[in-house]
Homo-oligomer: A and B are copies of this chain.
Amino acid sequence: MSGDPLTLVARPTLRQVAMLAGVSVATVSRVLNGDAYFSEVSAAKVRTAAAQLGFRVNVLARELRSGASSTTVGLLIGDLANPFWSGIARGVERELTARGLRLFTASTDEDPGLEWTLTQDMLDRRVRALLVVPSAADHGYLDVERRQGLPVVFLDRPPSNVLGDTMLLDNAGGGRAAGQHLLNGGHRRIAMLGDWSRYYTHRERSAGFRDAMERAHAVGWQPYERDNARDAASAEQQVRELLALAEPPTALFTLNNWITAGALRALRNLGAERTLPALVGFDDLDLGDLLDVSVIHHDAEEMGRLAATTALARIDGDVGPFRTVVVPSRLVVRGSGERPPV
């Protein structure tokens, strides 16, 4: 065990290793990087000296010299603590680590101003690629960077005012599947709860749902649309209000995981008193199986992996047209979505 926090010692440099080994810095560099020719004799001397001094290269210096950019990648997501986004981060990380690239993660809180600031900071650090879940209204400023060779990949939502590689979920397909499933179950008074005025994903999901209704010539669901569920608490309140109607909906489609959570909270208090409405939620929940909640499931980590793969391809020189990859979503039946209408 060791004690005192402080006995500052300067970090050894290549030059010091060279002196101790009695060779030039060039030789040290060659031996340590193993890329050029060198004799085993000097190699031994260098390795001994390096070990003795506890030498570690300074990657900053290396990357500066090598011109170009670094071996880091920046990821901007809404909030690292949200499982959807941390799933993305994990997927990205998996691909990157395998390639020796390191990941900067930053949460934007969905704030365009913060997103811009953080982006600039990453650019100043010369990230080798940038992965962004866009919140800003305009991403034109990234165009300059791309023109300078920076691969940019957008996740979860398409960017505004720019074209670029984009990884999306199958939002519309999921919404359609949810709508069809509830219709098949015999429901007509189906309430859809979301915040689709703001988000691309919600707009797509609700469009898919509406499409399912229209294809089936379903009527009766329109009065139950609610588009102001901005968090779990407000979603809970909205569901309460819906169920208090003279003719309440017999089914609910909630557009994301926190809205689903709010709806579940509203329903649990009704329990034995009355028949529960059916419920299908977009996004899976952490212990969804234990909650018997039917959902439109998708794989955030896979989306992260795809984004990273795409960025790597661009780094490797892929100059093909921009890709838009859609990650599939699918209905997972667990009970809540299969309750019959009253």
Task: Give the interface of A toward B (CB within 8 A).
Answer: 1-3, 5-11, 54, 56-61, 63-64, 70, 72, 79-81, 83, 86-87, 89-90, 93, 97, 102-107, 118, 120-126, 140, 143-144, 146-149, 161-163, 261, 264-265, 268, 285-287, 289-291, 301, 314, 319-322
Neighbouring B residues of A320 by C-beta, 8 Å? 5
- Counting every copy of the chain, the complex holds 2
Question: Which 6 residue pairs across A and B have the least CB separation, nearest first?
Answer: A286-B286, A86-B86, A81-B90, A80-B90, A59-B124, A59-B125
CB within 8 Å for A2 and B163 given contacts A90-B81, A126-B60, A268-B290: yes
Quick one: closest B residue to A146, CB to CB? B5
Q: Which B residues are in CB contact (< 8 Å) with A149?
A: 6, 8-9
Please tell me which one of the listed residues B60, B102, B121, B301 contacts residue A63 in the complex, with CB atoms under 8 A apart: B60
Q: Is the CB of B286 within 8 A of A264?
A: no
Note all chain B residues with C-beta closer than 8 A to A8.
Answer: 147-149
A291→B268 CA distance, assembly (Å) = 10
Contact residue among B72, B107, B291 (Cβ-Cβ distance under 8 Å from A291):
B291
Report whether B290 and A56 are in contact in the complex, using a CB–CB cutoff of 8 Å: no
Compute how far the CA of A291 lies from the CA of B264 in the bound complex, rounded to whole angstroms.
11
Kindly report which residue of chain B lies nearest to residue A54, judged by CB atoms. Answer: B144
Q: A5 with B60: in contact, given A86-B81, A287-B264, A291-B291 (CB under 8 Å)?
A: no
Given A80-B93, A93-B106, A121-B102, residue A147 in contact with residue B58 (CB < 8 A): no
Chain B residue nearest to A120 (CB atoms) is B56
Residue of A59, A63, A86 with highest tally of chain B CB at under 10 A: A86
What residues on B are CB-neighbors of A291 within 8 Å? 287, 290-291
Q: Which B residues are CB-close (under 8 A) to A9?
A: 147-149
Contacts A1-B162, A93-B105 known; list 16 others, CB within 8 Å.
A2-B162, A6-B149, A9-B147, A10-B148, A56-B120, A60-B63, A79-B90, A80-B89, A81-B86, A81-B87, A83-B86, A102-B121, A103-B104, A265-B289, A286-B287, A291-B291
Contacts known (A105-B89, A124-B59, A287-B291); A143 close to B80, Cβ less than 8 A: no
Residues of B within 8 A of A289 (CB): 265
Contact of A102 among B59, B79, B106, B314 (CB under 8 A): B106
Residue in chain B with minimal CB distance to A61: B64
Contact of A70 with B60 at beta-carbon distance under 8 Å, contacts A9-B147, A10-B148 already known: yes
Q: Smallest distance from the beta carbon of A134 to chain B beta carbons, Å?
A: 14
Known interface pairs A106-B97, A264-B287; A5-B314 also in contact (CB < 8 Å)? yes
